[in-house]
Chain A
Amino acid sequence: MSPRFEPISGRYLHVELLDKPHRLYVEEAGQGVPLLCLHTAGSDARQYRALMNDKRITANFRVIAFDMPWHGKSSPPAGWQGVEYQLTSSDYMRMILEVVDALELDSPVAMGCSIGGRIVLHLAHEYPERFRALIGLESAAHTEAYYDLSWLDRPDVHGGMVCAGVVSGLVAPIAPTVHRWETLWHYMQSGPGVFKGDLNFYMIDGDIRDRVDKIDIERCPLFLLTGEYDYSCTSEGTLDIARRTGASATIMRGLGHFPMSEDPEKFISYLLPVLEKIREQ
C-alpha cells in the first residue's frame, strides 16, 4: 500500500522581514488565485489545513499559509533571547507585504482570523490596491482586555496550559471534540510570551475604530465572517464594521472564534460562497 500523503506541501522560505533574515515556514496547496491565510494570535498555520485539503477550494485557489515569525515552525529572528516580542500594526502589515513580495504573489486574496481579521482591516485601509479581496474572520475594530495579560507569560504558570485555558471558551460549545482539542493543542505549543506579544496588537496597538469609516470597499472588496459564539470579536463588532464600510458580513451559526480549525466543514460551507463571489469579480 502506498503512503497516504495530504496534498499540502511545506517549505522554509528565506526572506528578509522587518530588516532581519528569517526562515519562514510556508505551507500551500492548490492552484489559481493566491489565497494567503493568516492565523490567530499564539497559534500557527496548521489552523488552515482543512482548507488545503478541500478540493472545492484548491481547484481554483492556491491556498498559502505561513507561520508568523515566533510561531509554529518559524523561529524568532536571531537575538530573540534579549527581546520581548510585541506585535504592532505597522510591523504586522509590513511583514505580510514582504511575504507577498517574496512569494511573488500577484494581487492575492488575504484572509485572516482574529488578529488576522483585524489586520485585514488595516490592509483594507492602507493597502487596498495590493489585494484582489480581503476576508476578515472574527473581525472587530477593537477588543478590550478582559483579563490580566501578564498571566500568559510568567514562570509560575504553564504558558501552554494557560493560553489554551484562556481561549478554550472561545471555541463554540457544539464544536466537534476532536477539532476543539486540536485547536487548543496549537495554543499549548506556543512559545513563551508569544500569545501575549500578539495580543499587544489585538488589544492595544491595533485599535482601528477611528479609521473604519475610511475603508473604501470599492478599492478592495471586503468580506466578513464571524462565529456567533465568539465573545472576543463579537457579532456586533463585525456588523458595526459592515454598517460603516458597506462590507458583506455573515454571522456563522454554531461557530466560535476559530472557525477554520474548530469546525472546518461548517466553516467551509460559509467560505465557499465568498470565494465564488471573489472569482466572479
Chain B
Amino acid sequence: MIDKIAGLVNADIRLVRRGRFVTTTFMIVIDDTYTLLRVEEGRITKVAPGPFITPDYSFCLRASRKVWEKFWEPLPPLGYTDIFALVKQKLMRVEGDLHPFMANLLYFKDVIAAPRLEAKR
C-alpha cells in the first residue's frame, strides 16, 4: 500500500495545495519494515524503502502491519479510523520532531490515509 501513496497524493491537487508549505522527510514503520517519504512543497517526491543505517527524517509513525492494514481499509473498523485513535489506544507511536506533522496535521492525516482511496477503487 505504501508504494501507492506518492501517486495518490500527487494526483490530488487540493491536497498538494494544502501541503504547499511542507518540505520534509518522514518515516513510516510497518512491523520492522522502514520507509522514508520525501515531501517537497506538498508533493511526495521520493519513497525510499529501508533498511537504513542512519535514517534522516523529521518524524516517524510506527505500528504493526495488522494495525496499518485495518487503518487502510476503505472504511476502517471502529478505533482504526484516525491516527490519534490509534495513538490513544497505544497501537501507534508518533515520534521525533513533531512540528511539521502538527503544523500540517490535516495534510498529513490525508497523506497517510491516502491508501484508503486505492482500496476503494
Please name all residues of chain A whose beta carbon is closer than 8 Å to the beta carbon of B103 when the two chains form the complex.
156-158, 161-162
Please name all residues of chain B whose beta carbon is closer than 8 Å to the beta carbon of A168 when the two chains form the complex.
82, 105-106, 109
**CA of A231 to CA of B84 in the docked complex: distance in angstroms?**
9
A157 pairs with B81, CB closer than 8 A: no
B interface majority secondary structure: helix
B29 within 8 A of A: no
A162, A164, A228: the one contacting B102 at CB < 8 Å is A162
Q: For chain A residues 107-155, which have a beta carbon within 8 Å of chain B? A: 144, 146-148, 151
Chain B count of residues within 8 A CB distance of the other chain: 20
Q: For chain B residues 17-55, which have a beta carbon within 8 Å of chain A? A: none
- Interface flags, B81-121, vs A, CB<8A=1, else 0: 11111011100000000110011111001000000000000
Q: How many Å from the CB of A160 to the closest CB on chain B?
A: 10
B81, B84, B89, B98: the one contacting A166 at CB < 8 Å is B84
B102 pairs with A169, CB closer than 8 A: no
Please name all residues of chain A whose beta carbon is closer than 8 Å to the beta carbon of B84 when the two chains form the complex.
146-147, 166, 169, 231
**CA of A43 to CA of B87 in the docked complex: distance in angstroms?**
24
A148, A165, A232: the one contacting B106 at CB < 8 Å is A165
Closest to A144 in B: B88
**CA of A232 to CA of B84 in the docked complex: distance in angstroms?**
9
Please name all residues of chain A whose beta carbon is closer than 8 Å to the beta carbon of B106 when the two chains form the complex.
161, 164-165, 168
Please name all residues of chain B whose beta carbon is closer than 8 Å to the beta carbon of A232 when the two chains form the complex.
88
Closest to B83 in A: A169
**CA of A165 to CA of B104 in the docked complex: distance in angstroms?**
8
Closest to A151 in B: B102
Once A157-B103, A169-B84, A169-B85 are accepted as A-B contacts, the answer to whether A229 and B78 lie under 8 Å apart by CB is yes
B76 within 8 A of A: yes
A173 pairs with B109, CB closer than 8 A: no
Closest to A165 in B: B105
Q: Give 17 A-B pairs besides A162-B105, A169-B83, A229-B81 with Cβ atoms closer than 8 angstroms.
A: A144-B88, A146-B87, A146-B88, A151-B98, A156-B103, A157-B102, A157-B103, A161-B104, A162-B103, A164-B106, A168-B105, A168-B109, A169-B82, A231-B79, A231-B81, A231-B85, A231-B88
| 3 closest cross-chain pairs (CB), A and B | A169-B82, A165-B105, A146-B88
